[in-house]
Amino acid sequence: MDFTGKNVLITGGSRGIGKATALAFAKRGAKVAINFRSDKEAAKQTAQEMQGDDHIIVKADISKPNAVEALVNAVVNEFGSLDIVVNNAGIYAPHPLASTNYKEWQSTWKKTMDINLFGAANVCYCAGQQMIKQGGGRIVNVSSRGAFRGEPQHSAYGASKAALNAMSQSLAQELAPHQIFVGIIAPGFVETDMAKEILDSEVGEGIRNQSPLKRVAQPEEVAYGILFLASEGSEFMTGTILDINGASYLRS
């Protein structure tokens, strides 16, 4: 896969899946804009590790609609165009119904939806507007197997990813006439900072054993799926949800 001359925006691009994806795009010739919310040092470190020149880091909290618009405008102003967007930013906050008070329950649901769903939707809108003007583009949204099998104690996360799938497939149909192609990846557990606490806990071994490979995914494996859906030749896969879970959950 060659992305020479392509301009890429990755939300939540400073660590985990986002970092692996940024490194993979840069290795294949793309110019990459790494969006981060608060950890500037992690974003700078990722940029330093990337091959090639002219990569940028852009601070923005995608839960804020105005910040999303400013983010996309900043990338377009710097690069001149926007060819590929990866909606990777997300949160995974526990809120077990039996032990979470009502105020915390509402707060977690709002925070999760604002980032995982509404933030991604707003990025799709702002980037999609730019892609329509320039005659095409690619959007890859990072979902989860939790959208299908459920997420105990993380119900807002599961709901946000299920809604992300539905939105993505709707946009795939709507934007195809504009030569904008929308793909979705649905990883299981991945060896990232976000999953570290649960993977290091007493249930970690059980999670790894859900896959016949007896492990969880590495970020680079998920990044490869993102690159595949963003690559030339995958146009007829628009609307596809690509499972990357090591056969830990198989949809019929």
Catalytic residues: 157
Cα atoms in the Cβ-side hemisphere of radius 13 Å centred on 190: 27
